[in-house]
C-alpha cells in the first residue's frame, strides 16, 4: 500500500464490533487533525445489516472521506445459531483467524511510514502481530478511566476466589480510583464462576489491554482525575508497572455536516426549535438498547403524567427468549407506535411531546438549546456527548459497563440521578415522572444542571490547543511513540 503521501500512517483496528467503529472514527479525526494519514482496517460484520441495501462498511466509508478504509479478506463467519459456545467467544475465535490477514496488510505499508497500530479493547489478539513486526501498538479504550481502573484491577481480585462474585449481590467492592462499586454492577459475565470459559477469556482481555505500549482513554483528566492517578499507584496491579494511560477526550462527534445549511433539517430538530430553552427531556438508550413492550407503556404513562416536554426514541422490543448478544445482533423492524404506545397517547401529548422511530441525531439533539435532560443507558459515548453538551442525565443502565458508569456519574461526577428499578429490569411510571420533574424543575436538579454546565466548560478547555489537558496528553503520546 502506498498512496504517494509522505505522511506517516496510523492504522486503526476496531475489529468486528460495529458499535466500536463510531468512537474509533472520531479518534481517526484527531490523528487527521495532527497531520497523519489514517487507515481503518475493518472486518465484514458477521451479521449483515439489511438497511436500505447499503452495507455498514459502505455507510461508514461514505460519511468519512478523509479516512482510508481497508477491508480484510473475509473468512467464514461463526455459526451463531447452532454453536453451543457463547457468541462472544465465537467472535474472538474469528478475530484470531484474522491475525494473518492483518499482518499481511501491515507488511504492505513501508516500515518508515507506519506510525503505529491502535487497537480496540477487544482486539488484544492483534498485539501479537504488532510485536512480531516491531510496530508500536496502543489500546484505544472507548469507555472511561473509571471502568478501565476497575477492569484492570479485577483479574487480581478474581484470582483469589473459588466462587463468582454473583453471590455478593450489592456488596460494595473497593478498587483504587473509583467509589465503592457494588459487585452486582460489574459486567454481568464476570460475576459467574471464575473457571467459566467466558469469564476466564474476558479476564485475559482486560489483562492484555495494558500489555500494549500505552492506552488512549476517551476521557479528560478533570472528569476522572481520581481514576487517572490510580494507574500510577504501584498497588493498582501489584508487581506490575502499567504502561502510560493518556486521557485524550472527549472524543465525540460534532453533530451535523458541513452542508447543514443546505440539508433538510430532521423533523425532531425542527420540533426542538419551537420549544423553550432547557425544557425538553430526551430519552434514548443507545444504538442497540431496547426495552419491553410493557416498559414502553410505563414510560409513556410517566411522561404523560409529568406534563414535561419530551423527545423520545422508541425501538421495537427484542424477540422473546434470546440472550443479550443475539439480541444485540438481531435486526429489528421499525416500531409500530400504534401498538407499542397506550391508546391515544400520541394525540394527547402532541402539543408537548415528539416520538421518533428507531433513531435520532443524538449529538444534535443534546447540543440543542431546548434539551434540558437526558434519559440514557449510560453507555460511555452517550455520556460523553451529554457532558460535552452540558446536559444532566437520568441514569438507566442496561448492561455491559453501563452499571459501573452509572455509579461514577451519580456518585463521583455529580451529573446524574438514577432511575430506581433499573436493577430489577423495570422502572415504574411514578419514578419516571418524579425524576424527570426533579432534574428539570427542582432545587436538587438545579445543582445537577449547574454541575453539567461546569463540566461542559471543562470538556471544552481540555481540548484547547493552548494548554488543554487532553491536547497535551495526545502530544505526549505522539512524543512517546517517537521515542520507542
Q: If you write DSSP's letter for every residue of 339-377 in order, what string do you get?
A: HHSPTTHHHHHTTTEEEEES---HHHHHHSTTEEEEEE-
Among residues 344, 335, 343, 331, the alpha carbon closest in space to that of 312 is found at 335
pLDDT in tens, 459-468: 999 999 999 9
Instruction: Indicate the pLDDT class of residue 257, thresholds 50, 70 and 90.
Output: very low
Instruction: Indicate the pLDDT class of residue 52, thresholds 50, 70 and 90.
Output: very low
CA dihedral sign of residues 216, 220, 223, 228: positive
Return the SS3 of 314. strand
Tell me, yes or no, if the two domains 9-253+464-482 and 267-460 fold the same way.
yes
Q: So what's the architecture of 9-253+464-482 in CATH? A: 3-Layer(aba) Sandwich (3.40)
**Residue percentage of the chain with pLDDT more than 90:** 74
Is domain 267-460 given the CATH code 3.40.640.10 in the classification? no
Instruction: Indicate the pLDDT class of residue 360, thresholds 50, 70 and 90.
Output: very high
Across the chain, what does the average pLDDT equal?
91
Map out the domains of the chain as residue ranges. 9-253+464-482, 267-460
Side-chain half-sphere exposure of 246, counting CA atoms within 13 A: 23
Q: 13 with 126: CB under 8 angstroms?
A: yes
Set of cell numbers at residue 430 = 411514578
pLDDT(86) > 50: yes
Among residues 176, 5, 118, the alpha carbon closest in space to that of 474 is found at 118
Average pLDDT over residues 445-455: 97
Set of cell numbers at residue 19 = 458499535
pLDDT in tens, 148-198: 999 999 999 888 787 888 899 999 999 999 999 999 999 887 787 778 899
Among residues 454, 401, 423, 361, the alpha carbon closest in space to that of 206 is found at 401
* Count of residues in the chain: 484
Set of cell numbers at residue 229 = 492517578
Rounded to whole angstroms, the Cα distance separating 416 from 435 reads 10
The confidence score (pLDDT) of residue 330 equals 54
pLDDT(258) > 50: no
The confidence score (pLDDT) of residue 259 equals 46
Average pLDDT over residues 51-69: 79
The confidence score (pLDDT) of residue 321 equals 53
> What angle is formed at CA 187 by the lines to CA 424 and CA 118, rounded to 5 degrees?
145
CA dihedral sign of residues 291, 296, 302, 306: positive
The confidence score (pLDDT) of residue 50 equals 47
Amino acid at each position: 500500500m502506498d498512496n504517494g503521501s509522505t505522511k506517516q500512517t496510523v492504522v486503526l483496528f476496531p475489529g468486528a464490533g460495529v458499535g466500536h467503529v463510531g468512537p474509533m472514527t472520531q479518534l481517526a479525526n484527531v490523528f487527521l487533525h495532527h497531520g497523519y494519514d489514517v487507515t481503518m482496517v475493518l472486518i465484514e460484520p458477521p451479521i449483515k445489516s439489511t438497511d436500505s441495501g447499503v452495507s455498514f462498511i459502505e455507510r461508514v466509508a461514505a460519511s468519512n472521506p478523509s479516512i482510508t478504509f481497508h477491508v480484510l479478506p473475509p473468512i467464514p463467519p461463526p455459526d451463531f445459531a447452532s454453536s453451543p459456545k457463547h457468541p462472544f467467544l465465537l467472535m474472538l475465535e474469528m478475530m484470531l483467524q484474522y491475525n494473518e490477514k492483518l499482518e499481511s496488510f501491515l507488511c504492505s505499508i513501508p516500515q518508515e511510514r507506519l506510525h503505529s497500530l491502535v487497537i480496540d479493547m477487544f482486539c488484544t489478539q492483534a498485539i501479537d502481530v504488532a510485536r512480531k513486526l516491531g510496530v508500536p501498538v496502543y489500546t484505544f479504550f472507548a469507555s472511561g478511566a473509571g471502568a478501565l481502573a476497575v477492569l484492570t484491577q479485577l483479574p487480581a481480585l478474581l484470582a483469589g476466589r473459588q466462587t463468582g462474585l454473583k453471590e455478593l449481590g450489592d456488596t460494595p467492592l473497593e478498587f483504587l480510583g473509583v467509589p465503592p462499586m457494588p459487585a452486582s454492577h460489574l459486567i454481568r459475565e464476570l460475576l459467574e464462576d471464575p473457571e467459566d470459559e467466558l469469564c476466564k477469556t474476558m479476564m485475559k482481555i482486560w489483562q492484555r489491554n495494558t500489555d500494549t505500549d500505552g492506552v488512549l482513554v476517551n476521557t479528560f483528566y478533570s472528569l476522572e482525575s481520581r481514576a487517572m492517578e490510580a494507574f500510577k499507584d504501584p498497588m493498582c496491579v501489584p508487581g506490575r508497572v502499567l504502561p502510560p494511560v493518556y486521557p485524550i477526550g472527549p472524543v465525540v462527534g460534532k453533530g451535523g455536516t458541513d452542508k447543514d445549511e443546505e440539508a433538510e433539517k430532521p423533523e425532531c430538530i425542527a420540533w426542538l426549535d419551537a420549544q423553550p430553552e432547557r425544557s425538553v427531556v430526551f430519552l434514548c438508550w443507545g444504538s442497540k438498547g431496547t426495552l419491553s413492550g410493557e416498559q414502553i407503556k410505563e414510560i409513556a404513562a410517566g411522561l404523560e403524567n409529568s406534563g414535561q416536554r419530551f423527545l423520545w426514541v422508541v425501538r421495537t422490543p427484542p424477540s422473546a427468549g434470546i440472550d443479550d448478544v443475539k439480541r444485540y445482533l438481531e435486526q429489528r423492524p421499525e416500531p409500530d407506535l400504534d401498538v407499542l404506545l397506550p391508546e391515544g397517547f400520541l394525540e394527547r401529548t402532541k402539543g408537548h411531546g415528539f416520538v421518533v422511530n428507531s433513531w435520532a441525531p443524538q449529538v444534535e439533539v443534546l447540543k440543542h438549546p431546548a434539551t434540558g435532560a437526558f434519559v440514557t443507558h449510560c453507555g460511555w459515548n452517550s455520556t460523553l456527548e451529554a457532558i460535552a453538551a452540558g446536559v444532566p442525565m437520568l441514569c438507566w443502565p442496561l448492561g455491559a459497563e453501563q452499571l459501573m458508569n452509572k455509579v461514577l456519574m451519580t456518585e463521583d461526577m455529580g451529573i446524574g440521578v438514577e432511575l430506581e428499578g433499573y436493577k430489577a429490569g423495570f422502572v415504574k411510571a411514578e419514578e419516571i415522572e418524579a425524576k424527570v420533574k426533579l432534574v428539570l424543575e427542582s432545587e436538587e436538579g438545579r445543582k445537577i444542571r449547574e454541575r453539567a454546565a461546569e463540566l461542559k466548560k471543562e470538556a471544552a478547555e481540555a481540548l484547547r490547543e493552548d494548554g488543554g489537558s487532553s491536547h497535551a496528553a495526545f502530544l505526549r503520546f505522539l512524543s512517546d511513540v517517537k521515542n520507542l
